[in-house]
Amino acid sequence: MSPVSEKSFGFPRSLRLLTASDFRTVFDQVDVKAPSPTCLLLAKANQSEPRLGFIISKKNVKNATDRNRIKRFTRNYFRLNQAKLPSLDIIFMGRKGLSDLSDAQLHELIEKQFQKLTKRAVKNLKT
């Protein structure tokens, strides 16, 4: 069995939504949504590889440590599962109550939301 290169599990700049125009195109042309009471994933199909961006406001998640923890868990899930995800530009939006979740609950929520998004994207983008 050959070793897996670290690059394939990285999170380089090419996999991130960085500019305001990147975010604007997703907001203007949402193809798929995965809502929950504590977070919302919005996505738009693209022609390359899946990309991820975050909107987690101080109003909804007060502590910077909580915002960083949420982003770290989400980036880690995305990084390890990017090969399974369709080519989408994804925005992860935090809502009130997200910081109240334990680590296990947060992992479960992120996994569930990305699976829901993937399932809906495959269904919607085929038609």
Rounded Cα gap, residues 104 and 113, in angstroms: 14
In a domain, 114, yes or no: yes
pTM: 0.88
Total number of domains in the chain:
1
Helix (H, G, I), strand (E, B) or coil at 101: coil
In a domain, 32, yes or no: yes
In a domain, 24, yes or no: yes
Rounded Cα gap, residues 72 and 61, in angstroms: 14
pLDDT digits (tens, 9 = 90+) for 47-104: 889 999 999 999 999 999 999 999 999 999 999 998 899 999 999 999 999 999 999 9
In a domain, 86, yes or no: yes
Domain containing residue 53: 6-126
In a domain, 1, yes or no: no
In a domain, 96, yes or no: yes
How many residues can be counted in the chain? 127
In a domain, 66, yes or no: yes
Token couple for 60: 């909804």
Tell me, what CATH number does 100's domain have? 3.30.230.10
Local confidence band at 125 (pLDDT 50, 70, 90 cut-offs): confident
